[in-house]
Structure 1
Amino acid sequence: MGFLEKQFKLKENGTTAKIEVSAGITTFMTMAYILIVNPSILSATGMDPNALLTATALAAALGTFCMAFFSNYPFALAPGMGLNAYFAFTVVLQYGYSWQTALTAVLIEGIIFILLSAANIREAIFNSIPKTLKNATGVAIGLYIAFIGMQNAGVIVDNGSTLVGLGDVKSVPVALALIGTIITVVLVIKKIKGALLWGILITYALGIICQFTGIYVVDPEAGAYSLLPGGVVAMPPSLSPIFFKFDFSNIFSLEFVTVVFSFLFVDLFDTLGTLIGVSTKAGYLDKDGKLPRIKGALMADAVATTAGAILGTSTTTTFVESASGVAEGGRTGLTSAVTAVLFLLALFFSPIITAIPSFATTPALITVGLFMIEAVTKIDFSDYTEGFPAFITIIMMVVAYSISEGLVFGVISYVLLKALSGRAKELNPVIVVIAILFFIKLIAA
């Protein structure tokens, strides 16, 4: 315990090893889906899906360990959703590049990020974002993560006419997700330690009971997989088919530079948005809206992306699901270290981990959304030069399904409204430059 206290400063951060372990487990449980989803997406490029499982777990563990020891923050990392889809379906399948070339772009992106982090450029961008947008980002990420949870369980579906609609509440997964959410919130109200984790486990247990009684019917073709593990222990698949597989033959082409820039842009502002949102909830931001030790957090993200490319996976980034561990009380890098260890163990116990269904983690994600929306009270909506940018950040982050796009609209509107209302003196020069770059990105898209 002496090492843990010295390394992670538990007392100073008002936490205990027990709380941190519970928070780390909760974060892992809400992120474990990436072990299934990332290989599924990237294998569309011809990459070996079994090797991708190993690469995903190792990249997540390495990046999260870096976060734990570089910054002492409870943030977890893994190959990012959206970035993996861009890698597979746009860069490889649409543009026609090989997956080896796409991995090369991710490698170069990671190296550039290391340089930008070392030079404090990413930190300067973080600090330039106004407080009102930082609070709005926290609110938006809460709604965003709740929306992801509802989609994963089928509570919200694409109904074909209005883009989103209510799923079949009579289906077992949807019903269990909703029941589990009520149970989880009740546990929170009663101040039960580890409420989010207990909510996941109770919902999963209810699912198993439903399967045993025949209420939940296993039908893999319909996406209803068995909730019972197919085994206990499995040896990790070999990494050799995708490890260090780079192709530098196209790196001087304009198209390749565009691909690298796209990776850079999305990863940069997804990461900043996630750090802003989760840090706001955890109370890490100081009175000026700055995040202490942010350099270590950004460096961890950059190193993870570079290492992930070497291992053979798309961009590794800070996960919004880290908010679940923070909501569970996680306040230090010990939370991250626990999550990282679980990603390593998952390589050997993948049959158990992958058996936990999305509907079991949905209650935790929806409850985290409730926790994070509290920051909306810190936004001054009576001043429309502050209120409207906050509003547009929140709404666009959710409906555009993108943290980075929410920031794009928020920053542009903030700068325009301040300038056009005669309050340009309130603008930081860095945020003006960012707004201009965002505008160019929008019209060039």
Structure 2
Amino acid sequence: MEHLFKLQQHGTTLSKEFSAGFISYITVVYIIIVNATILAEAGIPLEAGIIATILTSFFGCLIIGFWSNTPILLIPGMGLNAMFTYTIVQSGGFTWQEALAMVFVTGLIFVVIAFTPIAKVITTSIPTSLKEAINIGIGMLLILIGFDNAGIITSSEHTLLAIGDLSSPTAISTIIGLIITVLLFIKNVPGNLLLSIVITSVLAIWMGRTDLEGISLTMPSFEAYFGVFGQLSWAQAGNIVFWLTSLSLAMVVVFENIGLIHGHTKMLNRSQGSKKALQATGISVLASGIFGTSPTVASVESAAGITAGGRTGLTSIVTGLLFLVSVLFIPIIKIVPSSAVSPILILIGVIMLQNIVHISMEDLSESFPALLIIVLIPLTYSIADGMAIGFVLYPLLKLLLGKGKEVHPVLYFIAILFFSNFVIQYVLT
């Protein structure tokens, strides 16, 4: 283990890595049910979608763990699954088999970028202010997701967002759980996040928010999955819209992952690990189309494992193995309530906000696009859309202010791609 993962060099231990892997799993296991439900609306059978999500997550976590030795999780991305189902299939009129072929094309493009100097060119072309903004915006999104899942914040017709029912058992247990989580974290109690999940879960059970009846070990049907695995369709390969849509998807996937991986490796103070992490992510996206699901991303919730002490790929591998084992106990997964996960997400989000000190506020041409990214990622509920607006505005402002030479030529090209994606996604569909 020491030779393979260099635990001592990275200041960690086996117990820390296993604990971080378990915590990571608890924070992302929701994706099994949620992703499968969204894929079902594209026509993929629910049980097939469950298995596809599990196998894709297992493969993704293992390949990034072994290849890059970073505690990053690769799972089907929220937002990308919605793009797969609602934009490509339902609005675009493609079948889910054709959409899977687009995911495969996206993976090929990603792999070419990740394994060539193109990745470094793209990364160096993005200014520090925008990189930091992506990380902070993701933190804001985590906070919003945490409060939303707990019902503490809810949608409103008049004010967009409003305070929810704070007297509900879920809200109460989340608030108590958040206080416990923060106290355990500040006091640096060993296994603090895991202990928080256990305490809050027990509290939710005691308050009657978790139904323990009917829990059993069951295996989903693999028969339906065999009709999804490898079922890519190239029937529309002669259609220009097929390739434009694939390019649009690829652009969103690549830049979202660049932003996420930058944020995670920054938390680890190991920016040199981003190259191999990006390569592993590209391979994982390629495999997603074959396994039968929407593209994977370097999950936002990877920050949970990092915060819990995960420092090497062993954390990701533990999470991946737990994903595989979860085929046996999907009903038990549902026991962990949202009120146990929400405090973790909120805490991590707040920690990520601290990076705002690295954005210079003196030059508005630098800070304004960055601040827009920070605000729009949670408001649009989309990392890709929030990024896109900032990436388009940054070179535009510099150009209009006569500072166009300060912008890397590649960033102009990226801005054009993001703008084109907006036109394709929100104007032409």
Q: Deviations over 1:115-138 (max 9, x none)?
A: 222223233212221112222222
CA displacement at 1:43 relative to structure 2: 0.9
CA displacement at 1:323 relative to structure 2: 0.8
CA displacement at 1:341 relative to structure 2: 1.0
- Following the alignment from structure 1 to structure 2, what is the Cα–Cα distance between the partners of residues 82 and 436? 21
Q: Pick closer, same or farther for the CA change 1:309–1:440 going to 2, 3 Å.
A: closer
Q: Deviations over 1:55-95 (max 9, x none)?
A: 10110010111111111111001111111112112222222
**Equivalent position to 2:273, from 276, 282, 293:** 293
* Equivalent residue, structure 2, for 1:233: 217
The percent identity for this pair of structures is 39
* Equivalent residue, structure 1, for 2:303: 323
TM-score by length of 1: 0.90
Q: Is the 1:158–1:165 contact (alpha carbons within 8 Å) kept by the matching residues of 2? A: yes
1:244 aligns with 2:230: yes
- Following the alignment from structure 1 to structure 2, what is the Cα–Cα distance between the partners of residues 11 and 360? 31
1:401 aligns with 2:415: no
1:45 aligns with 2:29: no
* Equivalent residue, structure 2, for 1:287: none
* Equivalent residue, structure 2, for 1:288: none
**Equivalent position to 2:55, from 48, 54, 58:** 58
Q: How does 1:178-217 map to 2 (within 5 A)?
A: 178-211=175-208, 216=209
CA displacement at 1:435 relative to structure 2: 2.2
Q: Deviations over 1:19-41 (max 9, x none)?
A: 11111111111101001101111
What's the secondary structure of 1:335's corresponding residue?
A: helix
* Equivalent residue, structure 1, for 2:394: 414
- Following the alignment from structure 1 to structure 2, what is the Cα–Cα distance between the partners of residues 113 and 87? 17
Q: Pick closer, same or farther for the CA change 1:437–1:394 going to 2, 3 Å.
A: same
Q: Is the 1:32–1:354 contact (alpha carbons within 8 Å) kept by the matching residues of 2? A: no
CA root-mean-square deviation: 1.8
Q: Is the 1:73–1:332 contact (alpha carbons within 8 Å) kept by the matching residues of 2? A: yes
Q: Pick closer, same or farther for the CA change 1:205–1:123 going to 2, 3 Å.
A: farther
Gaps of 5+ in 2: none
- Following the alignment from structure 1 to structure 2, what is the Cα–Cα distance between the partners of residues 410 and 283? 25
Q: Pick closer, same or farther for the CA change 1:419–1:264 going to 2, 3 Å.
A: same
Q: Pick closer, same or farther for the CA change 1:246–1:433 going to 2, 3 Å.
A: closer
1:303 aligns with 2:283: yes
CA displacement at 1:389 relative to structure 2: 2.2
- Following the alignment from structure 2 to structure 1, what is the Cα–Cα distance between the partners of residues 359 and 328? 46
Q: Deviations over 1:343-399 (max 9, x none)?
A: 111111222223222221000000001111111111111222222122111111121
- Following the alignment from structure 2 to structure 1, what is the Cα–Cα distance between the partners of residues 34 and 314? 26
CA displacement at 1:251 relative to structure 2: 1.5
- Following the alignment from structure 1 to structure 2, what is the Cα–Cα distance between the partners of residues 227 and 190? 32
Q: Deviations over 1:264-291 (max 9, x none)?
A: 122112211211222222222xxxxxx3
Gaps of 5+ in 1: 217-225, 285-290
Aligned residues: 423
- Following the alignment from structure 1 to structure 2, what is the Cα–Cα distance between the partners of residues 129 and 195? 36
Q: Pick closer, same or farther for the CA change 1:230–1:272 going to 2, 3 Å.
A: farther
* Equivalent residue, structure 2, for 1:380: 360
**Equivalent position to 1:424, from 397, 404, 407:** 404
Q: Please, which moves more after superposition, 17-26 or 153-162?
A: 153-162
What's the secondary structure of 1:158's corresponding residue?
A: strand
Q: Pick closer, same or farther for the CA change 1:258–1:227 going to 2, 3 Å.
A: farther
TM-score by length of 2: 0.94
Q: Pick closer, same or farther for the CA change 1:89–1:229 going to 2, 3 Å.
A: farther
**Equivalent position to 1:363, from 332, 337, 343:** 343
- Following the alignment from structure 1 to structure 2, what is the Cα–Cα distance between the partners of residues 271 and 332? 19
Q: Please, which moves more after superposition, 60-69 or 149-158?
A: 149-158
